[in-house]
Amino acid sequence: MNQPNIKKVNLTSANLSDEKITELHRVIPEVFSEGRIDWDKLRATFGEEIDTYTEKFNFTWAGKGNAIKNVLIPSRATLNPAPDESVKFDDSDNLFIEGDNLEVLKLLQKAYFEKIKVIYIDPPYNTGGDFIYNDNFTSPIEGYLKQTGQKNGNGDHLTTNKETNGRFHSDWLSMMYPRLKLAWNLLRDDGVLFVSIDDNEIHHLRMVLNEIFGEENFIGTFKWNRVAKAPSLSTSIRTKYEYVVAYYKEIRTDLFGKDSYNTQGPLWHLPNKRILLNFPAGSITVKQSFRKGDYGGTYKVELLDDLIEDNGCNKNAVRIKAHSAWSQPRINKYIEEGFTFEIKKNPTTVYTTLSSEGNFIAPSDLITKEECGVETNTDASDAMKMMGIPFDFPKPTSLIRFLINMVTYNDKSAIILDFFAGSGTTAHAVMEQNKDGGDRKWICVQLPEKTTENSEAFKAGYKTIADIGKERIRRAIKLLNNQDGFKVFKLAESNYPENTFEFDPEKSEEENKTFFEDYLKQSKTARLINNLNETSIIYENIIKEGFSLNSNIAVGDKGGNKIFIVADADRQFSICLDRHIDDATIRVLTNDAKGITFICFDSALTDTQKANLGLHLELKTI
The DSSP 8-state label assigned to residue 528 in this structure reads I
Report whether pLDDT(244) > 70. Answer: yes
Q: Other CB atoms closer than 10 Å to residue 172's CB: what's the count?
A: 25
Please tell me which residue, 167 or 300, carries the higher pLDDT value. 167
The residue-averaged pLDDT of 258-268 equals 32
Please give the full DSSP string across 533-555, using - where no structure is assigned. Answer: -HHHHHHHHHHHTT--TT-EEEE
Write down the pLDDT at residue 597.
93
Report whether pLDDT(147) > 90. Answer: no
272 CB contacts (<8 Å, ≥6 apart)?
Answer: none
The segment with the largest mean pLDDT, out of 287-301, 376-390, 402-416, is 402-416
The residues that bridge with 218 in the sheet, in sequence order, are: 247
Half-sphere exposure of 53 (CA within 13 A, CB side): 7
Q: 559 pLDDT band (50/70/90 cuts)? A: confident
On whether the CB atoms of residues 384 and 394 are closer than 8 A, the answer is yes
The segment with the largest mean pLDDT, out of 83-87, 235-239, 335-339, 387-391, is 83-87
The alpha carbon dihedral of 401, 188, 182, 431 has a sign of positive
Write down the pLDDT at residue 138.
66
- Chain segment 325-335, per-residue pLDDT in tens: 445 455 555 55
Report whether pLDDT(237) > 90. Answer: no
Report whether pLDDT(522) > 80. Answer: no
Report whether pLDDT(504) > 80. Answer: no
- The angle subtended at Cα 366 by Cα 361 and Cα 368, nearest 5°, is 140
Pick 78-256+374-492's CATH classification: 3.40.50.150, 3.30.2420.10, 1.10.10.10, 2.30.110.10.
Answer: 3.40.50.150
The residue-averaged pLDDT of 511-534 equals 69
For the chain, percent of residues with pLDDT exceeding 70: 66
Q: How far apart are CA 197 and CA 188, in angstroms?
A: 23
Looking only at the bridges linking them, the beta strands covering 571-575 and 116-121 are unpaired
pTM equals 0.76
Q: How far apart are CA 312 and CA 266, in angstroms?
A: 8
Please tell me which residue, 320 or 479, carries the higher pLDDT value. 479
- Chain segment 81-107, per-residue pLDDT in tens: 999 999 999 999 999 999 999 999 999
Write down the pLDDT at residue 235.
57
Q: How far apart are CA 377 and CA 106, in angstroms?
A: 31
The residue-averaged pLDDT of 284-298 equals 39
Write down the pLDDT at residue 366.
25
For the chain, percent of residues with pLDDT exceeding 90: 37
Write down the pLDDT at residue 371.
31
For residue 442, count CB atoms less than 10 angstroms from its CB and return exposed for 0-12, middle for 13-18, buried for 19 or more. Answer: buried
The residue-averaged pLDDT of 289-316 equals 35
Domain ranges of the chain: 1-56+551-622, 78-256+374-492, 268-365
70 CB contacts (<8 Å, ≥6 apart)?
Answer: 102, 135, 137, 178
Write down the pLDDT at residue 102.
95
Query: Quick one: residue 312, left, alpha or beta (phi over 0 = left, psi -120 to 50 = alpha)?
Result: left
Q: 606 pLDDT band (50/70/90 cuts)? A: very high
Report whether pLDDT(300) > 50. Answer: no
Q: How far apart are CA 179 and CA 109, in angstroms?
A: 12
Write down the pLDDT at residue 326.
46
268 CB contacts (<8 Å, ≥6 apart)?
Answer: 260, 261, 276, 311
Q: How far apart are CA 139 and CA 529, in angstroms?
A: 25
